[in-house]
Structure 1
Amino acid sequence: RHPNKRHRTAGSVFGAPSEADYPSAQLNYPSSAASSTRALPVYTVPSLVTLCARVFTAKFVQLHNNQTIWKVTSQYLQVLPGELKGRIFGMLTAAWPTYLSHEIIVTYFLNGSSVTLSSNLPGVNRNTISSIKRFGASLRELRLTGFEKIPDEAFASIIPSALQLRVLVLSGCSRVSGKTVLAASKCTQLRVANFNYTSVTPTSLAVLLVACSELEVLKLAKVSNWTDTTFSKFLSGVDDTFRHVNLRNLKLRQTAVSDHSMMTFTTICPNLRRLDISFTGIRKPSLWVDQAPHLEKLCLTSTAISSGELCSTIRNLSKLKTLAIGALGVGTSPNTTINNTSSMTLNDHDLILVSDLLAEHGRLESLSLVSNTKLSLTRRESSALCHMISRVGRKCKHLNLSSIPSLRSSDLAGLMPTFEDDEPSALQTLMLNNTGVDDEVAPFISCCPELATLELAGTKITNDGLFPIIHACPKLVNLDLTSCRGIKVVDRRRFFEVSGILFLDIFTKGSARSGSRPGRDTHTFSNVHSS
């Protein structure tokens, strides 16, 4: 009897290691949603510590699986300095997250001055979190993110053992509430408190602010119970004369905070430098922004602010370095969406006024206009977007113009120098996702020698437009080509590699042709791709 097909076929055993287990394997699979990246040449020799850490990370699984070698290696790992141990743990987390079990983490990586754990590590559980208290005396920075199922009591129980904390990040730990915040208020040297996406209460936050006078950063994004009504409970926990002069960074993104609450908050915290109130009920920031004259960052994305109100708000903010004004007019009402152009308030005329104000201040480094769909609806020879880019955008380091459907390649002409003595564009990050740009944008983007990140997802760009950009921007390392139909799916994640091969092809064929017929080389990028 002949063996059946199932017996004859030597298939892989279910659960056995395969190439897909390795971090680099995913780069070889075709995908329409990915960024192409490259590493720039390194002209300095890495330190011996860096080289050793890289080798240890690369060989970690092999070392750990060999009991004889691991018995010796683990002893060295345990006596490493805390700072170096944290660095290695970060590298292992990125390279081998599924291999870091609860036992490995607790045994080797919790006894430093800094602990960083996230829900992306399958080996971390409630027992791992509870084990932190054993090393609390030496702990200065604690970052626990994304643990949605671990209760408030578990986090509150570890903080009393770490009273020397300077940094506490509990972002995404949705069940964190009053008990944890009250425990954190005992850490009087606390400088950073991140409670984004938690359930902290305004009453407990009042206790924290009063007790932690050195606090500089407070993040409360999407804290659902933060409303004008609950804010009154916060006020009842502080004295009328209370001022927190050290708070510099405040995030209230995606909360129900209103102008009334902000008037009080800016009075209590007069030295704010960075403020994020995106996706809130803010309508009249000009009523209270004068109480925060030192603002360097202001995020107003998706707020129901009129263009006139925007001009009044930024007119006196001469120190502004970062401004996010995406989807202005949408607000938090369920009846308004970014797909509804009529709800948008920023039009071409108002953008010119805003651009001129920002140009007068002369300090802006980052600007986001994402999803302002009313811009450039009326085409003119010199568009408002081109004016903005020429006066402000080209001098920024970060510019986000994504999801402006009427944006065209010609609008990017503002990236080019106006006069011979103008400095080249300072842009390091340019986002043009889901816009109408095509290959004609190439000469304009090529005027950005400092460009490191370029996002062109969902645009009409093709190989012909990308090659000159890559050639002109030597620092470009991140290129997002998601859903670019002009680029082959298999090339989108490895476009730098593809461009290198094609450049070499051009050089080789061009040299061969010039040797036989000087001056006759008319080979183009399109010719190479089609060949």
Structure 2
Amino acid sequence: MPKRSSSGYLSVPSKKRRRLAGDFAAFNPEYDVANSQAPATDSIINATSVSTRPPQRRRAATPSLASLASKRFAFYFSTLLGSEENQRHAAQYLRILPDTILARLVDDLKKYRPTFMSNGFISAYFLRPPSVALDSTLTGVNKHTITGIQRAGSQLTSLSLRGFDKFSDATFASIFPSLPCLETLVLKGCTKVGERTVGAITKSCHQLRVVNLNHTTPTAASLGRLLVSCKKLEVFKIAAVPKIASDLPNRFLIYDDWRLFQTPQFLASLARSEPGIVSTCLTSLKLRYIATPDLPLISLLGHFPALRRLDASFTKVTSLSPSRFLEHPIRPLSLPDLEKLNLTAIPLKPGSAGLVHFVANFPSLRTLSIGGIGGQENPTILRDRDLALLTSRLSGESSNAWPPVRVPLENVNLAGNSRLEGPALQYFVRKLGRYCRELNLASLKGVTSDTLEGLLPQPDTPPPHARIASENDAYPEEWDDNTSCLEHLNLASTSVDDGAVPFISSCRRLRSLNISKTKISSEITAPRLCLV
């Protein structure tokens, strides 16, 4: 037992006392900034100093017992069901398994043993309401499995069938008359789903809130009837539906023809209903890869006043000028207040100035993707003057309000616009880019190290929107309102070099950084960008 000192406390070894020698925070001339003898390698910590903090180590969440048991059962599925006694024992518990755990077990079986489940096994245990989810990785699914879903009846509220391209349109259509309470429906990749199936859905499933028909083959007329009949529909995805190409302008866009405004039928309908309003509940619309020539996007938006998220990337939108349909003197329709807008690779006509005015109509916009404007044929449509004008409008500098009110952008994608150069990009980064959480500037040769100077703290320009710190944030006590909000930055295939490192390092919230195919050397990246 160690000897006690006269004060009654345990004595501390002399070695430790030597380590603690000297007063806490005592003056040290070696690190005195004003001292002319200070080492030349020392630098004042300021806005441009490079962060050398070690990366935060995140602890993986401990899986629950139910998750571990589900994975174990799925991994040893073939062994557990090797004998009849084991099958009876497993069947007894599978029938009483809670719905939440059953859904997790289905996902684990898809991952570890997708080829071991037969039609009988799936039909007996996994076609239970309120949710059924199957995909083409389950080789035991056949026509009888699909038609057996109708036995769930009115208790089924969620149905997901993905990638089944071998079953006919009639097979899918036969199950929906028995499912009147469906709220979520996903038929993505079921390429033979067509007009007959969508017609059955239209007649029977009026409670739908989410519909995903990506990569299916219904007609535009059947989709229009589905939108009108499902009054509660909130999410509608029809990406890569080929039959819309020639049918959409004449069938899907009700009242879009200017001549309809002059007919007695239209004037009589003004007293009965709101013409042109297809859905007042739709908040998300996905039209990706729709090949309709000259898609009238603005007229389409007038049909959905509650729309918040629109994906029209890789479509044939050639003009974004105001539509005559929206400017009609009798009852014009206004554009919805979008929060997400994806216009990647739309083939706007050269000299079209409608993009800037169109995007500026959405004061609540948070996600904007305008990469590769002009498409593969002409990717040089978006130029410096367009980006500068767009930045001025979205940052609020073009208005007379003071202080300027910025659009609360969080995610911006400008990748692939090859005509954008230094001054306009630098202005964009300083006024908008530094306040985003995600910024994609990939394949922009005009992005240099000087472009990123706007990422440095700017005391006179606080962020346009408040950011709530989460428990996963690293070093939140060191942050202030002047620090860039960037968390994900993509600079792949740009012209940045080692001079950009101080600017990037000032982004303390940065979590991921892509600098592939740039001029930044690995010797600089490893020790100085350790935060990422």
Which of residues 122, 126, 134 is equivalent to 1:109? 126
User: Which deviations, in whole Å up to 9, do the C-alpha atoms of 1:176-196 show, x marking residues without a partner?
Assistant: 111111111120000111111
More displaced stretch, 57-66 vs 123-132: 57-66
Distance (whole Å) between structure 2 residues aligned to residue 349 and residue 375 of structure 1: 9
Measure how far apart 1:85 and its partner are.
0.9
- Normalised by the length of structure 2, the TM-score is 0.70
Match of 1:169, as an amino acid? V
2:480 matched to 1:427? no
Measure how far apart 1:323 and its partner are.
1.0
CA change 1:447–1:409 in 2 (3 A) is same
Measure how far apart 1:77 and its partner are.
2.6
Match of 2:369 in 1: 324
Distance (whole Å) between structure 2 residues aligned to residue 73 and residue 471 of structure 1: 50
Match of 2:337, as an amino acid? H
Match of 1:154, as an amino acid? T
2:163 matched to 1:146? yes
CA RMSD between the two structures: 3.3
SS at match of 2:439: strand
2:442 matched to 1:402? yes
Q: How does 1:67-216 map to 2 (within 5 A)?
A: 69=86, 71-185=88-202, 186-216=204-234
User: Which deviations, in whole Å up to 9, do the C-alpha atoms of 1:63-89 show, x marking residues without a partner?
Assistant: 455765554334323311222211232
Match of 2:230, as an amino acid? C
Measure how far apart 1:367 and its partner are.
1.0
CA change 1:259–1:274 in 2 (3 A) is farther
CA change 1:87–1:456 in 2 (3 A) is farther
Distance (whole Å) between structure 1 residues aligned to residue 182 and residue 293 of structure 2: 32
**5+ residue gaps, structure 1:** 1-37, 331-335, 474-531
SS at match of 1:112: coil
Contact 2:319/2:352 (8 A) holds in 1: no
Higher helix share: 1
2:403 matched to 1:367? no
Q: Mark the structure with the bigger radius of gyration.
A: 2
SS at match of 1:472: coil
User: Which deviations, in whole Å up to 9, do the C-alpha atoms of 1:96-138 show, x marking residues without a partner?
Assistant: 4444554443333221322222234444343432332232433
Measure how far apart 1:223 and its partner are.
1.7
User: Which deviations, in whole Å up to 9, do the C-alpha atoms of 1:454-474 show, x marking residues without a partner?
Assistant: 44455556643553477313x
More displaced stretch, 423-432 vs 265-274: 423-432
CA change 1:349–1:236 in 2 (3 A) is closer
Match of 1:501 in 2: none
| Paired residue total | 422
Match of 2:393, as an amino acid? L
Match of 2:236, as an amino acid? L
Match of 1:435, as an amino acid? T
Contact 1:207/1:237 (8 A) holds in 2: no
Contact 1:83/1:114 (8 A) holds in 2: no
CA change 1:40–1:87 in 2 (3 A) is farther
Contact 1:322/1:364 (8 A) holds in 2: yes
CA change 1:292–1:100 in 2 (3 A) is farther
Measure how far apart 1:281 and its partner are.
2.5
Match of 1:118, as an amino acid? D
CA change 1:460–1:232 in 2 (3 A) is same
**5+ residue gaps, structure 2:** 1-54, 257-265, 270-274, 327-332, 397-405, 461-479
Distance (whole Å) between structure 1 residues aligned to residue 99 and residue 528 of structure 2: 43
Contact 1:271/1:292 (8 A) holds in 2: no
Contact 1:206/1:237 (8 A) holds in 2: no
Which of residues 433, 444, 466 is equivalent to 1:393? 433
Match of 1:285, as an amino acid? L
Contact 2:150/2:179 (8 A) holds in 1: yes
Match of 2:444, as an amino acid? I
SS at match of 2:489: strand
SS at match of 1:131: helix
Distance (whole Å) between structure 1 residues aligned to residue 295 and residue 215 of structure 2: 23
Measure how far apart 1:434 and its partner are.
3.5
More displaced stretch, 452-461 vs 88-97: 452-461
Measure how far apart 1:347 and its partner are.
2.0
More displaced stretch, 214-223 vs 128-137: 128-137
Match of 1:467, as an amino acid? A
Distance (whole Å) between structure 2 residues aligned to residue 100 and residue 462 of structure 1: 52
Distance (whole Å) between structure 2 residues aligned to residue 61 and residue 463 of structure 1: 49
Measure how far apart 1:168 and its partner are.
1.0
Distance (whole Å) between structure 2 residues aligned to residue 467 and residue 64 of structure 1: 51
CA change 1:437–1:59 in 2 (3 A) is farther
- Normalised by the length of structure 1, the TM-score is 0.70
Match of 1:208, as an amino acid? L
